Structure 1
Amino acid sequence: MKKYEAPGVYIVEKNSYPAQVVEVATDVPIFIGYTERAVQQGKDVTGVPVRVTSMNEFELWFGKAPAARFDFSLRAGEPVLELEDSSRFILHSAIRLFRENGGSACWVVSVGCYGVGEPGIAKSAEHFSDAIWQEVAQQQEPSMLVIPEAVLLPSPEDYKAVWDRGLAHCAETRRRFAIVDVFNGDTKRTYDEADVISGKTGLRNMLSAEDLSFAAAYYPWVNTALHVASDITFDNISAGTRKAFFDYIRQDTDARTNEAQKTALEKALDLAVDDETSDAEKARGVQSLRVLSKRYKDLIDHAVAALNVMPPSSALAGAYAMTDTRTGVWEAPANIGLLSVVSPCVDISDAEQDDLNAPLDGKAVNAIRSFPARGTLVWGARTLDANSQDWRYVNVRRTAIMLEQSIKAALDQFVFSPNTAPTCRTIKLSIESFLNALWIRGAFTGTSSEEAYRVDVGLGTTMTAIDVEAGTMNVVVQVSLLRPAEFLVLPFRLQVQTKPD
């Protein structure tokens, strides 16, 4: 207390409220993958997390989507346009899908650049080095980890190496939750050694982190509407097969009997492939080809469909963010329609979902399913540690992360404060005020605050004299977290008919 010596009136303000605990962000993911470039304000930011708030910002610093390359061939007389794996990079599309589904701000880490035009880098697990993870660990804001391009790495072993490190990172930092895609998740399950979920190189056998409650996996991949026919031109056909593709389309012209249609088709084809024509004329020629040539239209539609196949993690990150903003992190991110998604790549029945949802090893995989008149929905909310009664559900683990990190950040100011009853009382009031505000918003179960949460701290309750002498203050927080109504059972009984009075 200040010592007063001169006579007079002294004003002393006293705070009526304890220090405030601020809820940390839960709707901000960090994406890791390949970009066209990585330059911010003239500085190379490869391997450096950069905060992005719009698609324009992403393209300004990280560039545009790669120019996909397709190889044309005839197989058993049937034409095929096959997407080259070396030209397939999807982080740009993943950011779009994230934003389409409700996401806003995110962080981006470029692990390598595919350059302008022809991609100039081969995907490798080595690009996800320890230095990358050290940079990621230093970021406080991101609450989700998304690595959509892990499924495009050359082998299951590369996928495993990246996600083993990613899951360990989430468990070590206790700050973020991982959304995992299934390797080869666009293929149907076979229930043998080659099965994408339980096979030798399936998801359950590849993920081996000690604490899997910090992650959730989703199956299958999805067919999106991100790319359209105008995104593909003759320039996307590989140089070695472009002539064969051109000759195949030209056969449509030779087969025409109507001279007017034949002339129109030849003109459209010339416009589309002539390097000396303007971009507008080329676009007009390509548009005409889609109308006049069934061969061209069918092949391009097939190519667009291949580009639109995406692992679902980025869409789920957007759905998580949308749910957090609309209600709160305590609501399960399930029974949600995915936007810009046409359908799942694999149809899953109720019986097939049984094994996904409740396997013996507890590594549950959430299903993405299509329902008549309802669209494509996220139909599961379990973590990869589904055998745990405490951490079975995504919203329970993510709520716990939010509470732990929010309270930890608020208590930093009390480090080195006297370990006395007034300090304990201030801490208790701060946390109780924070939890009470969350309870009012519906974050906890319980008809009263006493049923919803409890905070204990102090000598004789959470600490002994030995703890105080050792400089330890123990704060015990108990909360009653919400669990989703995963199974709704409606018992029906037929009433026996009785005689009227």
Structure 2
Amino acid sequence: MPDPNPPGVFVKELPSGVRTITGASTSVPAFLGYTKFFAADDPNATPAPFDEAERKVPQKIGSWREFAARYSMDKIAKELAGTADPVTALTLDRCFPLAEAVYGFFANGGRTCYVVGFTSPASAVSVADLQGNVDARTGLAGLETVPEVTMVAVPSLWDMTADVTVDDDAPPLDQDQGISRMAEVLKHCTAQRNRLAIFDPPPDLTAGDVKTFAGKLASPDTDAAAFTTLYYPWITVPGVDATERTVPPCGHIAGVWARTDAERGIFKAPANQNLRGVLTPGTLLTDDEHGELNAAGVNCLRVFPDRGLLVWGARTRSSTRDWRYVNVRRLVSFLSDSIRQSSTWAVFEPNDERLWAALRHSVASFLTDQWRQGALVGRTPDEAFYVICDGTNNRPETMDEGKVICDIGVAPVRPAEFVHFTITQIAGQPGLTS
């Protein structure tokens, strides 16, 4: 049969069959905190405020304006400014740590976050309520259905330890209760393996008190410590309602992490970066105080001449060499998550050499790209990582169980935390003569 096409050049596109690995998300935090529901003044407002049920489940937020509209911040600010009742004022004021954290996140370079609300600001949040329910998608359990989350912060955590009562001008904070809630957040992060907790110590602690407090958290030699970060001190901000207040820094820190990821990459330690939208730190630290806190795994916020307020620490709470630094833990979680998400095509494929070769190629190509970007140490890719997926680790007995084993090793780059200079004065040199 003659070809119906006119003479010319024709191109036919065929799939290459090459599988690629796409990097997973790295810069999406989840914030848990108090939010109060008010009936909408305008039922036709766009975007409409979330109702009480919607506030209790993870909601994706793309800007500060969206958060303010969805969580009725103008309404809360007006109610707070117009009330003379101390109990009502304390209750409404508890909604602002969450709002300030979200604002600080976007102000420092964040782009997308999730918010999980607790709609009774006058009441403490029990450990069970913080844990939440998977079916109802509430609390921490609700975040299990959001795999893109890579940071978890609870700006309202210390308020969650006590009820607002008529007798108390300011409810006393319970450190033990706060630590028990931190433990739940940490349990969640450790189980998910792809997210770190950004914690804040109780307010108004001295440097010595913070060091003592840090010693009460998860032991530094446990796996959980690698998913824990602690930042000090609290910060004074202008306030989203134009009222200065001192708030935990977790939201601003999450924004710095996101900004560093975008500008440099997840392998860069999120430190030596300025904090935007902050008036002053709650405490000015000396070098000696900072040194002791750094050794205890506490990341400090410091003021430096002509540079302003900087994040001056990039450690997890882990004491092990492998997981001491935030960027190393986050990089390994990113690599693991990316490879896992992009390799689901291999499920139910014939378990033979062709499958092993395809996995080796896709993983090696992805890791080579990471090495070229500076995430891995080594003069060549062979020094930076290895990928083994062949007959040496896929034995007949494992194949009979339906398993494919791909062993991967990487050498992450670590930050230059301490830079030492040796300065020698050369004296008594003879002058030059003509």
What interval of TM-score do these two structures reach, taking the shorter chain for normalisation?
A: 0.7 to 0.9
Does the CA-based 8 Å contact 2:218-2:224 persist in structure 1?
Answer: no
1:49 equivalent in alignment to 2:58: yes
The one of 144, 159, 166 aligned to 2:185: 166
Map of 1:215 onto structure 2: 228
Map of 1:299 onto structure 2: none
Structural mapping, 1:61-460, within 5 Å: 61-64=70-73, 65-66=76-77, 67-68=79-80, 85-89=90-94, 90-114=97-121, 121-126=122-127, 127-131=129-133, 132-153=139-160, 154=162, 155-184=174-203, 186-189=204-207, 191=208, 195-198=209-212, 202-207=213-218, 210-227=223-240, 231=242, 304-305=243-244, 308-359=245-296, 364-385=297-318, 387-460=319-392
Q: Which amino acid aligns with 2:251?
A: S
Counterpart-to-counterpart distance in 2, 1:196 and 1:467? 49
Counterpart-to-counterpart distance in 2, 1:493 and 1:83? 64
Counterpart-to-counterpart distance in 1, 2:320 and 2:233? 24
Does the CA-based 8 Å contact 1:187-1:345 persist in structure 2?
Answer: no
Counterpart-to-counterpart distance in 2, 1:43 and 1:32? 15
For residues 442-462 of structure 1, what are the alpha-carbon distances to aligned partners after superposition, in whole Å with 9 as ceiling and x for unaligned?
A: 2222222222222111112x2
Q: Which amino acid aligns with 2:227?
A: F
Q: CA deviation at 1:112?
A: 1.6
Q: CA deviation at 1:320?
A: 0.4
Counterpart-to-counterpart distance in 1, 2:365 and 2:131? 42
Map of 2:68 onto structure 1: 59
Change (3 A) 1:40 1:471: farther
Q: Which amino acid aligns with 1:93?
A: E
Q: CA deviation at 1:71?
A: 11
Counterpart-to-counterpart distance in 2, 1:84 and 1:456? 61
Give the SS at the match of 2:333: helix
Counterpart-to-counterpart distance in 2, 1:490 and 1:459? 50
Q: CA deviation at 1:45?
A: 1.2
Q: CA deviation at 1:145?
A: 0.4
Does the CA-based 8 Å contact 2:99-2:240 persist in structure 1?
Answer: no
Counterpart-to-counterpart distance in 1, 2:90 and 2:50? 32
Q: CA deviation at 1:165?
A: 0.6
Q: Which amino acid aligns with 2:333?
A: I
For residues 210-250 of structure 1, what are the alpha-carbon distances to aligned partners after superposition, in whole Å with 9 as ceiling and x for unaligned?
A: 5110121101101112357xx4xxxxxxxxxxxxxxxxxxx
Counterpart-to-counterpart distance in 2, 1:12 and 1:49? 46
Q: CA deviation at 1:204?
A: 2.5
Map of 2:423 onto structure 1: 492
Counterpart-to-counterpart distance in 2, 1:149 and 1:196? 18
Give the SS at the match of 2:343: helix
Map of 1:270 onto structure 2: none
Mean CA deviation greater in 491-500 or 208-217:
491-500
Counterpart-to-counterpart distance in 2, 1:496 and 1:444? 43
Counterpart-to-counterpart distance in 2, 1:468 and 1:483? 37
Change (3 A) 1:41 1:171: closer
Counterpart-to-counterpart distance in 2, 1:141 and 1:469? 33
From the CA coordinates, give the structure whose radius of gyration is larger: 1
Counterpart-to-counterpart distance in 2, 1:394 and 1:498? 48
Counterpart-to-counterpart distance in 2, 1:179 and 1:342? 21
Q: For structure 2, list consecutive stretches of 5 or more residues without a partner in the other structure.
A: 4-10, 39-47, 134-138, 163-173
Q: Which amino acid aligns with 2:397?
A: I
Counterpart-to-counterpart distance in 2, 1:83 and 1:40? 21
Counterpart-to-counterpart distance in 1, 2:100 and 2:351? 52
Give the SS at the match of 2:117: strand
For residues 321-356 of structure 1, what are the alpha-carbon distances to aligned partners after superposition, in whole Å with 9 as ceiling and x for unaligned?
A: 111111111110000110111221011111001211
Q: CA deviation at 1:84?
A: 6.0
Q: Over aligned residues, Cα RMSD in angstroms?
A: 2.8
For residues 341-393 of structure 1, what are the alpha-carbon distances to aligned partners after superposition, in whole Å with 9 as ceiling and x for unaligned?
A: 1221011111001211113xxxx1001111111101100000011x1100000
Q: CA deviation at 1:491?
A: 0.9
Counterpart-to-counterpart distance in 1, 2:91 and 2:313? 33
Give the SS at the match of 1:36: coil
Q: CA deviation at 1:183?
A: 1.4
Change (3 A) 1:310 1:469: same
Aligned residues: 388
Map of 1:32 onto structure 2: 32
Counterpart-to-counterpart distance in 2, 1:367 and 1:484? 16
Give TM-score scaled by structure 2 length.
Answer: 0.82
Change (3 A) 1:57 1:227: closer
Counterpart-to-counterpart distance in 2, 1:41 and 1:380? 37
The one of 412, 417, 423 aligned to 1:481: 412
Does the CA-based 8 Å contact 2:315-2:324 persist in structure 1?
Answer: yes
